[in-house]
Amino acid sequence: ELKVEQNPLFLSMQEGKNYTIYCNYSTTSDRLYWYRQDPGKSLESLFVLLSNGAVKQEGRLMASLDTKARLSTLHITAAVHDLSATYFCAVDPGSQGNLIFGKGTKLSVKP
């Protein structure tokens, strides 16, 4: 059974600190997606990683993909309160658009 595991599931951090969210998956997938979800809202696309070694950055967030290790990371630099949300990673093992999501990491950034 394909599994997508995120850790931590809950993360409370102070403003200005750095932290990394990890996403491990159990089958081959050349593409990995990161989404953000605010409470009661839908999913917002953050990054699409399409190849081994891919790295993308947007503001204080940077995502990377290691397909050999079946691992993606989402690194947060100098966190601010506005980054508080739940972050999901998802893989597309059949390259058919049937995304398999992790359980999400609920991030809370406190002053």
Partner 1 sequence: DAGVTQSPTHLIKTRGQHVTLRCSPISGHKSVSWYQQVLGQGPQFIFQYYEKEERGRGNFPDRFSARQFPNYSSELNVNALLLGDSALYLCASSLYLAGGGDTQYFGPGTRLTVL
| Cβ 10 to partner 1 shortest distance, Å | 11
| Cβ 7 to partner 1 shortest distance, Å | 13
| Cβ 91 to partner 1 shortest distance, Å | 11
Nearer of residues 12 and 14 to partner 1, judged by Cβ: 12
**57 lines the binding site for partner 1 (CB under 8 A):** no
Instruction: Please say whether the beta carbons of 111 and 81 come within 8 A.
Output: yes
Nearer of residues 45 and 69 to partner 1, judged by Cβ: 45
Q: What is the DSSP string of 44-111?
A: EEEEEE-STT-EEEETTEEEEEETTTTEEEEEE-S--GGG-EEEEEEE-TTSSS--EE---EEEEEE-
**50 lines the binding site for partner 1 (CB under 8 A):** yes
Nearer of residues 41 and 81 to partner 1, judged by Cβ: 41
Taking the C-alpha atoms of residue 88 and residue 74, their distance in angstroms, rounded to an integer, is: 10
**36 lines the binding site for partner 1 (CB under 8 A):** no
Instruction: Please say whether the beta carbons of 46 and 29 come within 8 A.
Output: no
Instruction: Please say whether the beta carbons of 39 and 52 come within 8 A.
Output: no
Binding site for partner 1 (CB under 8 A): 4, 31, 33, 35, 41-45, 48, 50, 88, 90, 92, 94-104
